Amino acid sequence: MNAFISVDLEGMPYIVNLGHLNLKGTLYEEARKIATKVTLTVADELHKNSFDKVIIADSHGPMVNLLVDDLPEYVEIVRGYPRPLSMMAGVEDCDVAVFLGYHAKFGTAKSSFDHTYSGGSINKVEVNGVVASEFLLNAYVAGEFNVPVIMVAGEAQLLKDDVSTFAPWAETVPLKHSLSRVSARSPSMSIIDKELRKAAGKAAQNCKKHKPEAIVPKRPVKMAVTFLASQFADAASLLPLVKRIDGLKTKYEAKNMIEAYGIFELLALAATGCHR
């Protein structure tokens, strides 16, 4: 069996400063080490529980965050952006999915770096009328390949709000409890290591007994994207299939979540070209 791990940074423990989150940040190297340790801990436990291969999608920002010097032989890593399926590249070849370092959607109170996909351009994403976090968007993508999400580790509010609602069977590990957008409380790495191994082992064993159902949205998929500024909606509406609703909101329809996600990724990329 193959396991897929999608890795973000904002929901990782101890990550509280913008300097943690970009290539030129003064604390970026610290963030890379933290994320790599968390990811390889989970990968190791999955491998010990009968997963022959673990495909890791490096999924924050430029998607070249994880350190690759000492990857085990059973690990393959997907790096670089843009790419097909974005944060979920590689899931199509796997049996189960795990999300690490995930965070709450934009507008969530007292939640570290709350945003949805693109913090500089997107206010809200709706899938069939449901406001979606990155967790839900990516779980839907996995669902199109019949891949269930069996474990999520990240910011506590995301686990409480979205994971418990849409994937109550998933094992969860709160890596941080946010005090504000830029402050959080986290346990020691030794405690985190134990909790991650416990959750990953339990998730793997549960899957062997009864594989949970994948989350699949109703088709056709009706998407609505609300931007933070009108020029981003200006760019999005240049695509013929996208309909402008008002100054900030656009909508479109797709045959499935793979198509919907690809169009969404394109809209997000278009918005980055409109920053002035």
Q: Which two tokens stand for residue 163?
A: 């994971």
| Residue found by looking up tokens 């191994």 in the block | 197
Q: What whole-number distance in Å separates Cα of residue 130 and Cα of residue 141? A: 15
Under the banding of pLDDT at 50, 70 and 90, the label for residue 276 is low
Average pLDDT over residues 157-176: 98
At 209 the pLDDT is 87
Residue 121 makes CB contacts below 8 A (sequence gap 6+) with 227, 228, 229, 232, 268, 271, 272, 274, 275
pLDDT tens-place string over residues 31-70: 999 999 999 999 999 999 999 999 999 999 999 999 999 9
184: β partners: 178
Q: For residues 59-69, b (16+ Cβ closer than 10 Å) or e, as one string?
A: bbeebebbeee
pLDDT tens-place string over residues 9-40: 999 999 999 999 999 999 999 999 999 999 99
Average pLDDT over residues 256-273: 96
Domains of the chain (ranges; CATH) run 2-117+133-209 (3.40.50.10780)
pLDDT tens-place string over residues 184-240: 999 999 999 999 999 999 999 999 888 899 999 999 999 999 999 999 999 999 999
First to last CA, the chain: 47
At 273 the pLDDT is 84
Q: Which two tokens stand for residue 170?
A: 């998933």
pTM above 0.95, yes or no: yes
Average pLDDT over residues 98-118: 97
Q: What is the mean pLDDT of the chain?
A: 97
Nearest to 125 by CA among 14, 270, 254, 222: 222
Q: Which two tokens stand for residue 113?
A: 């770096």
Q: What whole-number distance in Å separates Cα of residue 170 and Cα of residue 89? A: 21
The amino acid occupying position 45 is E
